[in-house]
Amino acid sequence: MRTCGFLASAQSGPKCPLCMNANKAGATVCGSCGRDLQPAHL
């Protein structure tokens, strides 16, 4: 599983656009980094 480059800033809240796109699509896991999508992603 690839590591999302945005995870490095997880402390301040990740801003992964792929996570947000997956979240908008109704997914529960990011298709890029595999992280569980939570409201904190937004």
Q: Please give the pLDDT value at position 1.
A: 40
Q: In a 10 Å sphere around its CB, with 0-12 CB exposed, 13-18 middle and 19+ buried, how is residue 20 labelled?
A: middle
Spatial distance between the Cα atoms of 31 and 11, rounded to a whole number of angstroms: 21
Looking at the structure of the chain, the number of domains it has is: 1
Residue ranges making up the domain that contains 15: 5-41
4-33 confidence digits (pLDDT tens):
555 544 544 555 666 665 555 666 666 666
Max intra-chain CA distance, the chain: 25
Q: Please give the pLDDT value at position 12.
A: 47
